[in-house]
Homo-oligomer: A and B are copies of this chain.
Amino acid sequence: MATLADIGLAAAINILSAFAFLLAFAFLRLQPINDRVYFPKWYLKGVRSSPSRSGNIVQKFVNLDWRSYLRFLNWMPEALKMPEPELIEHAGLDSAVYLRIYLIGLKIFIPITVLALAILVPVNWTNDTLATSKVVYSDIDKLSISNIPKGSNRFWAHIVMAYVFTFWTCYVLLKEYEIVESMRLHFIATERRRPDQFTVLVRNIPPDPDESTSELVEHFFLVNHPDHYLTHQVVYNANNLAKLVKKKKQMQNWLDYYQLKYNRNPSKRPTCKTGFLGLWGSTVDAIEFYISEIEKLSKEEEIEREKVRKDPKSVVPAAFVSFRTRWGAAVCAQTQQTRNPTQWLTDWAPEPRDVYWQNLAIPFVYLTIRRLIVIVALFFLTFFYVIPIAFVQSLANIEGIEKAAPFLKKLIEKHVIKSFIQGFLPGIALKIFLILLPTILMFMSKFEGYTSLSSLERKSAGKYYIFLFVNVFLCSIITGTALQQLDVFIHQSPNQIPKTIGASILMKATFFITFIMVDGWAGIAGEVLRLKPLIIFHLKNFFLVKTEKDREEAMDPGSIGFDSSEPQIQLYFLLGLAYAVVTPFLLPFIIIFFGLAYVVFRHQIINVYNQEYESAAAFWPSVHGRIITALIISQLVLLGLLSTKNAAQSTPVLLALPILTIWFHLYCKNRYEPAFVKYPLQEAMMKDTLERAREPNLDLKAYLSNAYIHPVFKGGEEDDDFSIADEQEYEQVLVPTKRQSRKNTPVPSKYNGSSSPSLPDVAQEP
């Protein structure tokens, strides 16, 4: 049992380390040399460019203006300044709504904390159960429900609070769902013309002996949507071609590296080995080798390109079908086309940059089989992941390695290495697994066959949440692995499980407080530092960058990473709700997490992350659903806890809570979820009518003709080129910044001299 002093010490350490991260960030971000790491979003927008041609050489790399260091925490208010509509314009609706998840945390927990501290803490504190009992206890326990004697009437205070907290949480969720829904609808309604508004993705087109897929699609839609069908694009299986293009690009990188090396040291021609990873094989002249390799690949690519274009077998049974009107597309996307519901499946086309091309060709039967496999695999991954890791760990000990590789024996037996292996290796297997986990889950989602990046991320997030819930929440509460838990739970009665969790949740409050400080506070502060992208950028910058364009590519803005970051936030919702009634002392730590994370991520979204796709907040129903899940779990845990406290008469009163919560969820699902899945005809008709009035002579067919072709056919090297270029055709209002456009800015900024609401005040002009 940690005392208040222990917690205070831990808090101090973590606050200090978080502070250190923030300080390092504040220092590093002011250096011009790191500009592309900490402000890539502005480069992508074309508002900034490399500060490499103006000022003296030192100023190109280090910021010498001492005044700017004094205001090193300025980025925080700056990050908060940009108003939401501008943020949506700047970073997309997905990012703006993502930030609202943190905001919802604050909205839920600030009033709950105030109430809990004002009402429950005095109720708990003014008992002396713990003082008279012989149990070892800490001051924190005196503040918690464990200080209330068994069967006391004071539990009614907790029950009433449980109701109040539930109603408050539901109220916030309802309001938030309403807001996000109207934001989404408004966003969609005011959106510029985009190809996906007119387009439907058709899958599982049945084979026809007489017609090609393209002809078949055309005839089918001409017959069944005669007034609305406009054009279509078949999908080519260009996975091989994409591989070749990727390989060629890698070769090009190596060539650049060696050429740069040669330029710096022209006395020596660089050489390399042709074998695996350049480790063995015959030594050759590196530059010549890579030039010839690239030539070879170029030829192969050309052949493959021809093959894909001409071979009818490379056409997959899927197509993007475009309609004359949004109304026509909305109708086609929401209806069943033929008798057989596994053929001619229609669905809204994702944005062109959101399409996951590899999955377009999977037939219906395989989809159901794959889904079964993934469910079973997820179950085993969640509950049995310790088994392979334990196996690897058992191999990774001294005896194991000696057995597997006897020739290493002498080396291993040295003291330093031995202690390293014994102390470090077993942990590494687990660590590597946890780092790889989001990738594994994403692979599972890809295997399941979703066709857009946004849905892939949403589905991975759901899987990750299950994993975290079982392996972090449950396993921390009842010490032991998930596998042991599973065994225990299977052998317990269903009303025993909440009791078990309820009884041990009290003991774990201090553990979770420490967890929140380490994982939450320090973790978030580490996020803003971007250590990994920083190092990689400078390495690339040194070894590969030749031109401005190369530098652009070396920059890795990253994205929010919804699939791994959202489930982690959800963990804090779960902890906060579960402990709200039981140990209110934990709540302030949660609030600090949400506050800090909100500021940090707002800053990152404004300055760093580059949006990969725009799903118009399609993820909100699952966010809402997971908070509801956390609420229900917290209610069941309280139910279990109180029944161990001889407050059995409370059971029926508390049982009503989960039932009401589930009903509330169903109501929200029916009321708000359709806005995230369907596209109302009235809206479509309104936009169509407006457009017809404004641009009566619009050539939609030409506009749509190249929207949905595989990125490798785009000709350009950058995969996500299309949509950006596409959007720039329109009048684009950029956020004004203080940093002026320079002579070499690719797209000149139009807002010279206007003041910036959101940019650091580094005065770099000479």
Contacts and interface: CB of A to CB of B under 8 A. Distances in A.
26 contacts: A185-B339, A224-B682, A224-B685, A227-B227, A334-B335, A335-B678, A336-B678, A336-B680, A336-B681, A337-B680, A338-B680, A338-B681, A338-B682, A338-B683, A339-B683, A341-B670, A342-B671, A364-B671, A365-B667, A376-B659, A490-B493, A490-B494, A491-B493, A492-B493, A493-B494, A494-B494
Given A368-B667, A493-B492, A335 B330 contact: yes
A667 B227 CA distance: 34
A372 interface: yes
A417 interface: no
Interface residues of A: mostly helix, strand, loop or mixed? Answer: helix
Contacts of A672: 341
A172 interface: no
Interface string A331-354: 100111111011000000000000
A223 interface: yes
Residue of A365, A493, A683 most packed against chain B (CB within 10 A): A493
A341 B674 contact: yes
Contacts of A495: 490-491
A663 interface: yes
Given A494-B490, A681-B224, A671 B341 contact: yes
Contacts of A437: none
Interface of A: 185, 223-225, 227, 330-331, 334-339, 341-342, 364-365, 368, 371-372, 376, 490-496, 659, 663, 666-667, 670-675, 678-683, 685
A522 B537 CA distance: 85
Contacts of A225: 681
Instruction: Please state the number of chain copies in the assembly.
Output: 2
Contacts of A671: 341-342, 364
A680 B672 CA distance: 26
A682 B223 CA distance: 8
Contacts of A185: 339
Contacts of A685: 223-224
A342 B674 CA distance: 10
A526 to B, nearest CB: 41
B339 A682 contact: yes
A136 B682 CA distance: 74
Contact of A339 (B223, B341, B490, B680): B680
Contact of A342 (B376, B490, B670): B670
A680 B365 CA distance: 20
A179 to B, nearest CB: 14
Contacts of A682: 223-224, 337-339
A335 B331 contact: yes
Contacts of A372: 659, 663
Nearest to A673: B341
Nearest to A335: B334
A324 to B, nearest CB: 12
Nearest to A367: B670
A680 B338 CA distance: 5
Contacts of A334: 334-336
